[in-house]
Structure 1
Amino acid sequence: MIKSLIIGDLVAKIPIIQGGMGVGISRSSLASAVAKAGGIGIISGAQVGYDEDDFESNTLAANLRALRKHIHKAKQDSLGGVIGLNLMVAMNNYEDHVKEAISAGVDLIISGAGLPTKLPSFVKNTTVKIAPIVSTSKAASVILKMWDRKENATADLIVVEGPKAGGHLGYSNDELDNIDDINYDEEFIKILEVAKTYGEKYNKEIPVVAAGGISSPSDVKKYIDLGASGVQVGTRFVATHECDAHENFKMKYVNATEDDIQIVKSPVGLPGRAIKNKFLDEVSISRPKITKCYNCLIPCNPKDTPYCISKALINAAKGDIDNALLFCGNDAYKVDRLYSVDEVIKELTSML
């Protein structure tokens, strides 16, 4: 029998969280389908309003409006399923997005790409659950110790992202070049102990979820057996009919080979994993003209950034794949066709 993923008073019958993928890859369509199927659907808060009419002229307002709209729609279409938001701490206007999501009725906020130091204070006196994304036991200890000391609070969930994930990664380029030397399983077990320590202090269960490169039923079973309360999956949900991305983007996953997937350096200095394409070839040689700064990420300086990451990711969501940054997980090449969300979930849980 499949064991539910329980986060305080939130109950997901299927212990799968769909990873938050931006720009525009996981919005209300994908998130609601996963939540309706019994998992936890996650909307990415990164430039979520990229297709609003006033996005170019009034970016923040467009994003906040779209965030509210997609949370409401996902809650409605999932028939009351669990809907969360993924927000990068490195985003400009992070607090505005958190407060808008809380007001819109989001159930869970998952946050990485930096230390979400103030997140507990933002959700104080609400029912919204919070989860940091970490890659090491050291990072988990630092965040939970900080929250304990400064906010008298702790995590409701911990997401442990391994080196095989897509998008921005919490590892150095050197570490990713020697990926076999990273002992993710050992770190995961250490993080289970960190969660247990703070769970006992706050008299609550802090579920720990494995993430990064989880694409098969055996992957899911492995981490559940290791002590995970669930898994987070991104790549497999991109190649679904319900995914919010353009069909061209989905088919790049279907048609990718193992050699097409490479580590890239993002304009904000973080390594990422993406599918090789014309865009990556061109930006390795010359810097494209940047006509507008979307003020999306704190570490980005438009004067010296190699390219605009917002524009590159928006192009991906819209299907302009030759001029796009195509983030993906390590196992994207294993995707052989487009599936329904129900098919993916049924397959991934087939060994539980």
Structure 2
Amino acid sequence: MYSKLSLAVLACIPLASDAFSFSSPVTSSRADLRSAATSTFNPSLGAVGRAPRAAASSISSLDMRVPKIIQGGMGVQVSSWQLAREVNRAGELGVISGTAMETVLIRWLQMGDPDGIYKRALDRFPDQDMVKRVWDKYYVEGGKPDDKPFKHPAMWTIEPNGALEEATVLGNYAEVWLAKHEDDGTLIKGGGVGINCLTKIQLPTIQNLYGAIYAEADYVIMGAGIPMEVPGILDNLVEHKDCKLAIDVDDAPEPVYTHFSPKAFWERAGKPDELKRKMKRPDFIPIVSSVTLAQAMLKRATGAGPTKGIQGFVIEFPTAGGHNAPPRGFRYDAAAKSHVLSLNERGEPVYGEKDEVNLERFKKATKGLPFWLAGYYARPDKLQEVLALGGAGIQVGTSFAFSKESGLRTDVKRDVLKQVQSGDLSVYTDPVASPTGFPFKVLELDDSLSTVKNYEDRPRVCNLGYLRTAYHDAETGKIGYRCASEPIDMYLKKGGVMEATVGRKCLCNGLMANAGMPQVSPHKAAGSDDKYVEEILITAGDDINQVRNYMKETEGGYLEYTAMDVLDYLWGKYKDEYQKEMNLYSHAEEAEDPKIRESLLAKKKELEERIKEVDAQLNK
């Protein structure tokens, strides 16, 4: 029997499960469920943990299992090796972002390589002379002063220099290697590690992939464009064969390609024997938004085999964060502004029935390949729904983006979670922010480039250039590079139009700032004698408020959650926690004080409803 005192105390305590329920978080924390990650999975009963999965015929690696959850690739190092490793450990697919990895590595070295993290990975790279060249050029003992700018390599062109290629291979190698290994170098036998690259960032693509392959990446995932040539490039890279990739060049009279030769790369490095190294081809999963695009890739992609080197698809809906595929028929027109007819009252692109995906038709069209759904799918009921439809699972981005392990700045994560708690956050699908021309989700935050004042106060500068567009100069016959976010006079001299510069944001510098590596501009900040320091530009999906389900208050008074919290929620493990907590209220009826009894019974009823809710989700 419970004493009167214990029942009275229990009545005053919030439900511990509120820390991971749909209500606001409290200071109570739940038990650590990591050990439960090895429990079994019964598809007929729903997800109750990690489980061994039989290899699917469409997944090429015999030792790989088809993941049910793909942690999405995000931003510049938001999908960090720490996040990808945690998801990999748990038996799902962890994904690192390959965007600007040479710049990430170079800046990290200039910050002194805290804790020797990248040294640990680079010590395993087969060419230590190459490592030394990059290390000697950029490493700063103890880190550079905060008010001094980062040194950066040459910007990418169709014919990059050898030093840039080496830094790119090393950066991607290191990030994948760290995600696949424990701190002591032990290989993690988990769910696998993939690399995500933006198709629109064309010029570094081949070198990104070569570095990832050297670290034995298990998957390559690519969206924000149509990566038609990538399957064939992967086929060639694992055999150290020369590769080429068609580059979008405005006004080009004929096709233009960038080339990469592993033979020339290793001979220049003085290590021709590396060409004998046996390489494992990663599985390729393109991100698509329509049946038509998936069919086109299966018909025209350059890879070998009946599926053209494609091992699955992610179907991404426009509710996802980052870059979105534009609505069918939508095209941003800076001069004529015809696109405004397809915007809602907030100025966002409008998606309709043409943008919906018929999953039954998709399954038939894609020859039984595994598929994952993304964009508002970070829920256990959605995971079960996809599995019931015959899908492999879901891809989740936003929920992982603000987890403890992500590479997003800690202070930014805490601020975002605080605003989620208060309900003050808004996500805006900006049709013009990205120089790519793709709609881009922007989280509206003070002290970020999402505000008009901060955007207007930023001195325009283009010093990273990942989103520059190549163009053919008719007068010189040469190829130039321009970006609608660069200084306006420079853009106009290169043939750009004034209207295209309006509202364009520098994603390159904003995303580097998100990762805690902001550049110190050569220009002064508005109204100040100090140099301008690049500000953040945060992206998130429409379901940002979903993180309420697992964030909790720490002893330090700030809100936080881990990647495992997200996975546990998606696996449906919280039912066990609800049931354990329910036992605390088994004697609620015995409370003599009517108010205490009423409070206890209300909490007991709430827990019963939560258990029913989880049961309903798992049985769908």
> Which band: TM-score by shorter chain?
0.7 to 0.9
Report the counterpart of residue 347 of structure 1 in structure 2.
569
Report the counterpart of residue 163 of structure 1 in structure 2.
318
Point out where structure 1 has 5 or more consecutive residues left out of the alignment.
200-205
1:11 to 52, 64, 77: 64
Give the secondary structure class of the aligned counterpart of 1:346.
Answer: helix
Matched, 1:309 2:479: no
Report the counterpart of residue 270 of structure 1 in structure 2.
438
2:509–2:534 Cα contact (<8 Å) kept: no
Q: Deviations over 1:217-256 (max 9, x none)?
A: 1222222222211110011112322222211232344224
Q: Provide the C-alpha distance between the structure 1 equivalents of 2:415 and 2:326, rounded to a whole number of angstroms.
A: 25
Point out where structure 2 has 5 or more consecutive residues left out of the alignment.
1-41, 111-137, 139-149, 155-163, 239-279, 331-341, 470-481, 492-500, 519-532, 552-559, 573-616
Matched, 1:297 2:458: no
Q: Provide the C-alpha distance between the structure 2 equivalents of 1:273 and 1:219, rounded to a whole number of angstroms.
A: 22
Report the counterpart of residue 80 of structure 1 in structure 2.
189
Q: Deviations over 1:137-169 (max 9, x none)?
A: 111111111027988624101111111100000
Identity %: 24
More divergent stretch after superposition (293-302 vs 159-168): 293-302
Matched residues, number: 343
1:57 to 135, 143, 152: 152
2:442–2:450 Cα contact (<8 Å) kept: no
1:36 to 85, 89, 94: 89
More divergent stretch after superposition (84-93 vs 171-180): 171-180
Matched, 1:26 2:26: no
2:67–2:392 Cα contact (<8 Å) kept: no
1:132 to 274, 286, 292: 286
1:159–1:209 Cα contact (<8 Å) kept: yes
Q: Provide the C-alpha distance between the structure 2 equivalents of 1:167 and 1:86, rounded to a whole number of angstroms.
A: 13
Give the secondary structure class of the aligned counterpart of 1:335.
Answer: helix
Give the alignment of 1:208-287 within 5 angstroms. Answer: 208-254=371-417, 255-256=419-420, 257=423, 260-264=426-430, 265=432, 266-278=434-446, 279-282=449-452, 286=456
Q: CA deviation at 1:21?
A: 0.6
Q: Provide the C-alpha distance between the structure 2 equivalents of 1:143 and 1:21, rounded to a whole number of angstroms.
A: 23
2:171–2:211 Cα contact (<8 Å) kept: no
Q: Deviations over 1:104-155 (max 9, x none)?
A: 2111101112221221222215431111110011111111110279886241
1:248–1:319 Cα contact (<8 Å) kept: no
**Which structure's CA Rg is the greater one?**
2
Q: Provide the C-alpha distance between the structure 2 equivalents of 1:263 and 1:23, rounded to a whole number of angstroms.
A: 19
Q: CA deviation at 1:334?
A: 2.8
Q: Provide the C-alpha distance between the structure 2 equivalents of 1:31 and 1:210, rounded to a whole number of angstroms.
A: 19
Q: Provide the C-alpha distance between the structure 2 equivalents of 1:28 and 1:166, rounded to a whole number of angstroms.
A: 20
Instruction: Give the CA RMSD over aligned residues.
Output: 2.9
Matched residue type, 1:133: I
Matched, 1:178 2:350: yes
Distance 1:111 1:283, change over 3 A: farther
Matched residue type, 1:342: M
Give the secondary structure class of the aligned counterpart of 2:228.
Answer: coil
2:364 to 167, 176, 193: 193
1:13–1:38 Cα contact (<8 Å) kept: no
1:258–1:333 Cα contact (<8 Å) kept: no
Q: Provide the C-alpha distance between the structure 2 equivalents of 1:335 and 1:163, rounded to a whole number of angstroms.
A: 19
1:287–1:307 Cα contact (<8 Å) kept: no
Q: CA deviation at 1:63?
A: 4.1
Matched residue type, 1:84: G
Q: Provide the C-alpha distance between the structure 2 equivalents of 1:258 and 1:137, rounded to a whole number of angstroms.
A: 36
Report the counterpart of residue 202 of structure 1 in structure 2.
none
Q: CA deviation at 1:333?
A: 2.2
2:66–2:392 Cα contact (<8 Å) kept: no
Q: Deviations over 1:85-118 (max 9, x none)?
A: 0011111211111122112211110111222122
Matched, 1:120 2:231: yes
Distance 1:259 1:120, change over 3 A: same
Distance 1:308 1:267, change over 3 A: same
Matched residue type, 1:188: L
Matched residue type, 1:128: P
Q: CA deviation at 1:316?
A: 1.5
Q: CA deviation at 1:319?
A: 8.5
Distance 1:314 1:166, change over 3 A: same
Give the secondary structure class of the aligned counterpart of 2:181.
Answer: helix
More divergent stretch after superposition (143-152 vs 186-195): 143-152
Query: After TM superposition, where is structure 1 displaced by more than 6 Å over at least 4 residues in a row?
Result: 148-152, 319-322
2:207 to 96, 100, 104: 96
1:246–1:319 Cα contact (<8 Å) kept: no
2:378–2:394 Cα contact (<8 Å) kept: no
Q: Provide the C-alpha distance between the structure 1 equivalents of 2:435 and 2:351, rounded to a whole number of angstroms.
A: 22
Q: CA deviation at 1:180?
A: 6.0
Give the secondary structure class of the aligned counterpart of 2:541.
Answer: coil
Q: Provide the C-alpha distance between the structure 1 equivalents of 2:363 and 2:199, rounded to a whole number of angstroms.
A: 23
